[in-house]
C-alpha cells in the first residue's frame, strides 16, 4: 500500500485560529517544540462522522499542555468547535484527528517561558484495514529494553511528545526482530503498557490491568473498564510482575489507534483464548457506532 506522505496531502488544517491549506500548515525549523520537545498532542477517532470522546481528549490536551507549562491561547470550546469543523471540512466518515500544541520560535534556549504556544488540529480518513478474523489472530510482542520512567523523572501523566522517544526506539527494535510491538516494563520492573496503547489480561475470568501510576490512563482503557463493570466482569488494577503473564488466558491492547487488539504472544507467554475479548470488542463497537 502506497501511503501519501503527510506533508503532501490535500485539504485544510486548523492552525492558530485559522483554517489554512494543508500544505501551508508549516513551522520554522527553529522552533522550541522540535528542539526541546516542548510539545503535547492527542489522537482521536471519528466513527461514522461522529467524534468519539472529543471532550475527554481535548481536556487531556489542555491538561497535558498545563503539565508542560504551555498555555494554549484558545478556550476548550474554541478547540472543540474547530475540531468539529475540520472533520466536516475534510469530509471524514471514519478517520483520525491529530491535535498538537507546541512552543514557538521566539526563543531558542532551554528557558523559553515567554515564547508563544501554538496549536493545530489535522484530520484524515482512516478506515479499518483488517478484517475481524485477522484482528482476532492477535499480535506478537516482545519486551523492550527501555523502561517507562518514574513520575519523578518525566511528566508521565501528560501525552508529551518527549515521552515517545523510547516508544519509537522500542517499536523499531521489536519490528526489526519480526514482532508487531513491544511490551514496556516500568522503572520498578512491573508491566506498564505497549508503545502506544494500554494492556489488559484475562485470568480466571477476571480482567486485570496494570495500575496507571506512571503511564497514560488511556481513554480507551477507561472505556473498556466501564464496559467490563457493566457486564459484571471483575476488574483489578494492580502492579504486575512479568511472571504474572504465565497462566493468563487472554491478553489485549487498548488505545484510540489500536481500539481493542488481541495479543497472540509476549516473548515465551502465549494467549490463545478469545472468549472475553470477543465480548468486549462487540460492546466497544456498539458503543463507538452509537454515539
Ligand atoms: N499509552 C500510550 C503511550 C499511548 O500513546 C496511548 C494512545 N494515546 C495510550 C496509552 C492509550 O490512550 P487512549 O486510549 O487515550 O488513546
pLDDT per position as a tens digit, 191-249 = 999 999 999 999 999 999 999 999 999 999 999 999 999 999 999 999 999 999 999 99
Confidence (pLDDT) at 2: 67
Rounded Cα–Cα distance for residues 279 and 227 (Å): 10
Helix (H) or strand (E) holding 166, with range, is helix 165-176
Pocket test for ligand 1, best of 126, 149, 220 (most atoms within 8 A of CB): 220
Closest residue by CA, ligand 1 atom 9? 197
Best residue among 63, 159, 224 to mutate for probing ligand 1, ranked by most atoms within 8 Å of CB: 159
Q: Verify whether ligand 1 is closer than 6 Å to residue 210 (CB atom).
A: no
Beta carbons within 8 Å of 213's beta carbon, 6+ residues apart:
151
262 CB under 6 A from ligand 1?
no
Question: Would you list the DSSP string of 43-64?
Answer: -EEEETTEETTHHHHHHHHHHH
pLDDT tens per residue, range 6-60: 999 999 999 999 999 999 999 999 999 999 999 999 999 999 999 999 999 999 9
Report DSSP state, residue 160.
B
Catalytic residues: 159
What is the rounded CA–CA span in Å between residue 28 and residue 195?
29
DSSP 67: H
Dist. CA 8–CA 5, nearest whole Å: 5
Q: Which cell goes with 252?
A: 489485549
Measured from the Cα of 219, ligand 1's closest atom is 15
- The minimum-distance atom of ligand 1 relative to the CA of 167 is 3
Sorted by sequence, the CB contacts under 8 Å of residue 195 that are 6+ apart come out as 144, 167, 168, 170, 171, 174, 181, 182, 184
What is the pLDDT confidence band of residue 85, given thresholds at 50, 70 and 90? very high
pTM over 0.95: yes
Nearest by Cα to 146 from 208, 237, 61, 215: 215
Q: How far is Cα 93 from Cα 49, in angstroms, rounded to an integer?
A: 4
* Minimal-distance CA residue to ligand 1 atom 4: 196
Q: Is the dihedral of CA 171, 172, 173, 175 positive or negative?
A: positive
43 touches ligand 1 (CB under 6 Å): yes
Residue-wise pLDDT tens digits, 120-174: 999 999 977 788 888 999 999 999 999 999 999 999 999 999 999 999 999 999 9
Measured in whole angstroms, the distance separating CA 250 from the mean position of its chain's CA atoms is: 22
DSSP H or E segment with residue 172: helix 165-176
Residue of 196, 199, 214, 223 best suited for mutating to test ligand 1, as the one with most atoms within 8 Å of CB: 196
Q: Is the CB of 95 under 6 A from ligand 1?
A: no
Q: What is the CA radius of gyration of the chain?
A: 19
97 CA to centre of ligand 1 in angstroms = 14
Q: How far is the CA of 23 from the centre of ligand 1 (A)?
A: 28
Is residue 39 within 6 Å of ligand 1 at its C-beta? no
Amino acid at each position: 500500500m502506497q501511503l501519501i506522505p503527510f506533508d503532501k496531502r490535500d485539504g485544510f488544517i486548523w492552525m492558530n485560529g485559522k483554517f489554512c491549506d494543508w500544505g501551508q500548515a508549516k513551522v520554522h525549523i527553529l522552533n522550541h517544540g522540535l528542539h526541546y520537545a516542548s510539545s503535547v498532542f492527542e489522537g482521536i477517532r471519528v466513527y461514522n462522522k461522529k467524534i468519539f470522546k472529543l471532550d475527554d481528549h481535548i481536556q487531556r490536551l489542555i491538561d497535558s499542555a498545563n503539565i508542560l507549562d504551555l498555555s494554549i491561547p484558545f478556550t476548550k470550546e474554541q478547540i472543540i468547535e474547530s475540531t468539529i469543523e475540520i472533520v466536516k471540512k475534510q469530509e471524514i466518515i471514519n478517520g483520525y484527528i491529530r491535535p498538537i500544541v507546541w512552543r514557538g520560535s521566539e526563543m531558542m534556549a532551554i528557558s523559553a517561558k515567554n515564547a508563544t504556544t501554538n496549536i493545530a488540529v489535522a484530520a484524515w480518513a482512516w478506515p479499518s484495514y483488517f478484517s475481524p478474523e485477522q484482528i482476532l489472530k492477535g499480535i506478537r510482542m516482545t519486551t523492550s529494553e527501555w523502561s517507562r520512567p518514574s513520575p519523578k523523572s518525566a511528566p508521565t501523566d501528560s501525552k508529551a511528545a518527549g515521552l515517545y522517544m523510547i516508544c519509537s526506539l522500542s517499536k523499531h527494535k521489536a519490528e526489526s526482530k519480526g514482532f508487531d510491538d513491544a511490551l514496556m516494563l516500568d522503572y520498578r520492573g512491573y508491566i506498564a503498557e505497549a508503545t502506544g496503547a494500554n494492556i489488559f489480561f484475562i485470568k480466571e475470568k477476571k480482567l486485570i490491568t496494570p495500575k496507571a501510576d506512571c503511564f497514560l490512563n488511556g481513554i480507551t482503557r477507561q472505556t473498556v473498564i466501564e464496559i467490563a463493570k457493566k457486564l459484571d466482569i471483575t476488574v483489578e488494577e494492580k502492579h504486575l510482575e512479568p511472571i504474572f503473564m504465565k497462566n493468563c488466558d487472554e491478553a489485549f491492547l487498548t488505545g484510540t489507534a489500536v481500539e481493542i487488539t488481541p495479543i497472540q504472544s509476549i516473548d515465551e507467554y502465549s494467549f490463545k483464548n478469545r472468549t472475553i475479548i470477543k465480548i468486549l470488542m462487540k460492546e466497544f463497537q456498539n458503543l463507538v457506532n452509537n454515539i
